[in-house]
Structure formats: structure tokens, C-alpha cells
Structure 1
Amino acid sequence: MRIALSACLAGWPVRYDGSSKLTRAVQELAAKTEAVCVCPETSADLPVPRPPAEQRGNRVWLKNGLDVTADFERGSQCALATVKEFGATLAVLKARSPSCGVHEIYDGTYSGKVISGEGVFARRLEEEGICVVTEKTVESVKPSVEHPVALVLGTGLGHLARLVKPVRRIDYRDIDGFPIDAQPVDGHKFEATIGTIDDVPVVVYPGRVHLYQGYSAAEVTALVQHAHHLGCRDIIFAGATGSVPGNAGTGLGIITDQINLTGTNPLAEWAGLKNVKTPFVDMNDAYSPYLRTLARGVADDLGITVEEGIFAGLLGPNFETPAEVNMLRAMNVSYAGVSTALEVIMARALGMNVLGLTLAANPAGARGTTHKSVLEAAKRYADDFERLVRGILRLL
């Protein structure tokens, strides 16, 4: 995988005051990938040191009053050409900079106040379809013993739990909010494992309950709440789905967005939910663009065929009718399933970073689809799924 970095984050003394902002998490990511360092400001031949610069409106000004908008634009175009030639799909930039700020920048008063906005260079990268994040994202998506990665696995995918070097096991019935009378469907197991996979701290949940079994939205998201309670900041959801013909094929997929068609929402019960401050949750980028880009990079590096698309969460348990498949196709849905959607809503309400992976075991609405055939499809893709997840964990 190829990434671009703000040179100051890699330790280059290119900031306005001649310093760098060396960041360990970014260093570690660069060591696991192929990286190119860029600085749009020095690419524009701006001197080091120089007065600090900030954006006001659509202009960039040095603190001494000099308008350097044209310099910043020229340097950004030069740095962009370097990134495109290198083939980077991800850029990690210095937060809040007038060149590299992502979603927030300093407001132009040189007071430290931050407003919504994009840096000149960040905007150019986004226009090219390159995923752009700051060092803060890389630092926040960093597994540790205190912040393990949670993996919630669905039908036929729970075998990943055998990779865990266990430290502790937890019966689901000991998890607060999980229905104590629940019985796992075939392909699920109700025992969480805390430990490591390839030395990465994880909590693996190799099964879940569903709305169609008669449980509430709060109950089917109890595992997410438990993962958050254990300190997990990053959560990977994986489950079997049907692929919508014309929008996606069978096989492994990365979920980019979702439509909740279950008719319910765990946040409708938010008053009784711990650590949920408000039910009014922003669902933009519900599936982390950063994690999605890493997953795509891992798949490409390993030669694993992976598609991407929108997921529709349905109530189930029956498979889709032809009319429903036509509706989903018209809605630009690629994958249809009976889990994940509510769990993602809960994860976002708790401020977690989400990655959604799916195994499209059959074309949605295909004749002859059974639970057994889904399990058989999962076995065929087990090796690629395992390699993909392990690659993602190592990259984190």
C-alpha cells in the first residue's frame, strides 16, 4: 500500500518555525507501507523559517500581512503531482494547517481558534478521490491493551476466533444487556475471546443475535456496548450477505455506507443506554474512510478480490423477494443482510471507528438459497477472509 505524508509528521524540519511534528503512530504506519513525504509550502519555495500562515475566507495570509494564496496553490499542485505519480491512495496530513487541515483549520486570527474548513492541499487531494486524514486519526486508530480492536463476526465467519492467543474468555450470558435465554444459530458461538491476533490486542465476538429472533434493538447491540466498555475504539463488523445483482457480485466486500430498513433503531431507547450522550448521531462517514482505505490497500497488496458498496439492513429471516431485490438495486444497494446496520448506529453513537466487511455468499433473492448454502460459501472464502483481516490488523 502506498501513502503520502506531510513531511513534518515524518520529522522533516519544514514547518514555518523550522521545526517538525514527528508523530510516532504515523512513523509506524509509514514503516508498514510505502510512503512519500511532501510539503506543499516548501514546494512553493516559501522560506523556512517564515511567519505563520492561516486562512481567512478563500485567501491565505502570513501573519505579517502578506497574501500567499498563489504560493499555497502552486505548492499544492506540485505536491499533488508527486502524490499522483507515486500512486498513493491515502494521505496523512498535519491537522489544522492552512495547507493540510482536514475538516478543520485555524480561523485566521492567529489565536488558536479552530473553524470548519479544508486546507488548500487537502482540498486538492480530496478532489482527486484520495482519502485524506490527519495524524489524529492515525493516533486514534491505534490498538493497545487498553484499546483492543473489536471484531463482531457473523454466519460462517466465527472461525477467526481460533486465531486468537487467548487471555480471557467471556460467556455472552455474562455480558450486560445480552439476552440470557439466547441460543446461537448455526455458524455462531456465544463466547467472546480477549487476547491477541499476531500480537494485536483484540476482542473477538464469534456470533450475534438478530431482530428476527425476537430480540430488541438494544439487545442485538449489546456486544457493541460491551466492546466499548472494554475500551475498544475500533470495531470491525463482518457478516454474510446477499449481493444485489448488477450492483455487486458474490465474494468479499467492503461496506461504504448503509441504509437501515429494519424498522427500528437502538437509539430510540437511548435514555437507558450507558455512555450514549445523545440520540442525534451524525452518520456521515459511518464506515471510517481511513479504515476502508487500509482494507482496500491490504486486499490489493495480497491479491484478494474485494468489491465495495452500500449495505441494506433488513429484518429477515426470509431471503429477499424479486421485487425487494429490484427495490434494493434501484436504491444503489450492493449488499443485503439481517445484521450490522443497528450495530453500526450504536458504535457511532459511542464514538467508535467502524470497518464493515461482508461475505456476499449468494445473489440476493437467488432460488435455492439456504442457511446451509451460506455456510458452505463462507468456507470457500475462509482463507481470503482470514488473510484480509490479519493484514488489516497488522497495518493498524
Structure 2
Amino acid sequence: MNRLVGMVLGSGLGSLVDRMAVEREVTFVDAGLPASGVPGHDGAFVFGRLGDAPVVVMRGRIHLYEGHDAKAVTAGIRWMSEQGVEQVILTNAAGSLHEENPPGSWMVLTDHLNLTGTSPLEGGPNFVDMSEVYDAGWRARVREIADASGLPLAQGVYAGLRGPQYETPAEVRMLGRLGADAVGMSTVLEAMQAKALGMKVLGLSCLTNFAAGLPGALLDHSDVMKTGKGAAQAMIDVIERSLSG
């Protein structure tokens, strides 16, 4: 890949920027986006290179639970598209629904459940095919690299909820029955917008905690950020290798 690649960094994953050769930054406000008020979401677009690949990193994101609508939440995806981005990596911090995928592990998204009750495509007959939101070829390449690197990488379905409260144990059991493997409060709307714009999408969840009701579940944002930072480095290596060549 040698075209400009976009990335959206979830809670605690901002350390990827430290590995970049940074060229310039554009704040959310300067780009016409709302500022994010969530710890771990700095609110800037960072242009530069990760290894040999030109990238623009959306350091932080905007959430529905901050009071924004679906159009505002996905404004960063549209802005990156205007800069020439045709492929985007969406990362997030998520709760694991499976004991075999403990905190600190990673999951590559095969599909998602949009349980936010909204869509960035509403307002017209935008009947976009969502049969394959997350690119299978890119996903396979990342899994191959992770396996060669000794990094366990699960794959599964991400359930996106509105938040900001964490889920109840009953809700987590419901999500499991619906086919979810991880749950969080972002990504799905961005993925839908990116797909509608013709982008190639890769989704990665850092499983920072067990979901409510599972043994050892810790539902605290500071713990989410701490675990995300600790797990980030191995995945950054995989991402960098996946962009080379």
C-alpha cells in the first residue's frame, strides 16, 4: 500500500502517533469538527508516515454519547476522504464477551451490529450494500502478520451501542445471543460512512475489559485507557507491517 491511509485511534491508543514521522497536524476545530471532550481522545488529524506508508491519523474521535448526531460523529471520515484517503483503519477499545479473549488481546472485525439507533446515511435513499463492510483480504493479511509475530488475534462481530453507560449483564447476555463477540460505543457509524464513500475498511478492537457479568469484569474508563496503552505496541507493529509493500 502506498496511497494515503486513514486511521482512527480509540481510547488509549494514541501512542501510535509516537511511531510516526509527523509532518503536520490539523485540530478537529480547524477541520470544522466538534472538539472531543473524552479523556484519551485528543482531537487532531496527524499527517506523516508510519514506516514507508503515508498516513493521516485521527487522534481521538467524536461520540454519540457526547450529544452529537451521526453526521457529526462521522465528519472525520468524510474529511479524510476529501484529503484523498481511500482506505481506513478503525480502532476501538471494546469489552470482550468471551473468556478466551482476555483484556489486553485484540480482535479484527468481521462484521458489526449497529445498535445505536441511528445512521450517518439517513436523510435520503442511501441504500448502501453492507454485505462486506470490513475488507476480507486486508483482514486476512493482518491475521497472517499477527500470527507470524506471535500476537494472538481473534476475529468476530463488534456490537456498537450508544452509551455512555456500560452495558448491564442482561444486555451482555442479549448481545451474545445476537452474535456479538465484543461491545463498544464507536466504530459502526464510521464504518458505514466509509463504506458509503467507497473506502476499504479494516476494524480492530483492543479488548480492554471483560463485558459486564463475566468473571473479572472491570468497567472503568481509566482501566480501559491503561489496558489499551499497554496492548498498543504489538498491534502497532502489525499495522505498520500490513501497510508496507
215, 223, 227: which one pairs with 1:373?
A: 223
- Residue number in structure 2 paired with 1:358: 205
Deviations 1:149-192 (A, max 9, x none): 0000010011111222122211111223x22xx34311111111
- Residue number in structure 2 paired with 1:53: none
Q: Map 1:285-324; keep pairs closer than 5 Å.
A: 285-324=132-171
2:31 corresponds to 1:175 = yes
> What is the alpha-carbon distance in structure 2 between the residues aligned to residue 385 and residue 368 of structure 1?
22
- Residue number in structure 1 paired with 2:232: 382
22, 25, 28: which one pairs with 1:166?
A: 22
2:103 corresponds to 1:253 = no
Q: In structure 2, do the counterparts of structure 1 residues 183 and 347 end up closer, same or farther at CA, with 3 Å as the change threshold?
A: closer
> What is the alpha-carbon distance in structure 1 between the residues aligned to residue 204 and residue 60 of structure 2?
15
- Residue number in structure 1 paired with 2:2: 143
1:390 offset after TM fit, Å? 1.3
2:46 corresponds to 1:193 = yes
Report 1 or 2 for greater relative contact order, CA contacts < 8 Å, sequence distance ≥ 6. 2
Largest Rg, 1 or 2: 1
Q: Map 1:218-233; keep pairs closer than 5 Å.
A: 218-233=71-86
Q: Is the 8 A contact 2:210 2:218 kept in 1?
A: no
Read off the aligned partner of 2:10 and give its amino acid letter.
G
1:143 offset after TM fit, Å? 2.6
Q: Is the 8 A contact 1:155 1:240 kept in 2?
A: yes
> What is the alpha-carbon distance in structure 2 between the residues aligned to residue 166 and residue 383 of structure 1?
18
- Residue number in structure 1 paired with 2:120: 266
- Structure 1: unaligned runs, 5 residues or longer: 1-141, 271-277
- Residue number in structure 2 paired with 1:32: none
> What is the alpha-carbon distance in structure 2 between the residues aligned to residue 295 and residue 344 of structure 1?
18
- Residue number in structure 2 paired with 1:331: 178
Q: Is the 8 A contact 2:48 2:54 kept in 1?
A: yes
Q: Kindly report the root-mean-square deviation, in angstroms, between the aligned alpha carbons of the 2 structures.
A: 1.5
Number of aligned residues: 241
Where 1:267 maps in the other structure, the secondary structure is coil
Read off the aligned partner of 2:73 and give its amino acid letter.
V
1:361 offset after TM fit, Å? 0.6
> What is the alpha-carbon distance in structure 1 between the residues aligned to residue 78 and residue 59 of structure 2?
16
Q: In structure 2, do the counterparts of structure 1 residues 316 and 247 end up closer, same or farther at CA, with 3 Å as the change threshold?
A: farther
> What is the alpha-carbon distance in structure 2 between the residues aligned to residue 380 and residue 166 of structure 1?
22
Q: Is the 8 A contact 1:221 1:342 kept in 2?
A: yes
1:337 offset after TM fit, Å? 0.5
Read off the aligned partner of 1:165 and give its amino acid letter.
A
> What is the alpha-carbon distance in structure 1 between the residues aligned to residue 6 and residue 143 of structure 2?
19
Q: Is the 8 A contact 1:159 1:206 kept in 2?
A: no
Where 1:174 maps in the other structure, the secondary structure is coil
TM-score, normalising length: structure 2: 0.94
> What is the alpha-carbon distance in structure 2 between the residues aligned to residue 282 and residue 368 of structure 1?
37
> What is the alpha-carbon distance in structure 2 between the residues aligned to residue 208 and residue 383 of structure 1?
20
Deviations 1:1-40 (A, max 9, x none): xxxxxxxxxxxxxxxxxxxxxxxxxxxxxxxxxxxxxxxx
Q: In structure 2, do the counterparts of structure 1 residues 247 and 325 end up closer, same or farther at CA, with 3 Å as the change threshold?
A: farther
Q: Is the 8 A contact 1:248 1:309 kept in 2?
A: no
Read off the aligned partner of 1:253 and give its amino acid letter.
M
> What is the alpha-carbon distance in structure 2 between the residues aligned to residue 368 and residue 347 of structure 1?
32
Q: Is the 8 A contact 1:253 1:308 kept in 2?
A: yes
Q: In structure 2, do the counterparts of structure 1 residues 269 and 174 end up closer, same or farther at CA, with 3 Å as the change threshold?
A: farther
1:246 offset after TM fit, Å? 5.7
Where 1:209 maps in the other structure, the secondary structure is coil
> What is the alpha-carbon distance in structure 1 between the residues aligned to residue 87 and residue 17 of structure 2?
17
1:318 offset after TM fit, Å? 0.9
Q: Is the 8 A contact 1:175 1:222 kept in 2?
A: no
2:96 corresponds to 1:243 = yes
1:247 offset after TM fit, Å? 7.8
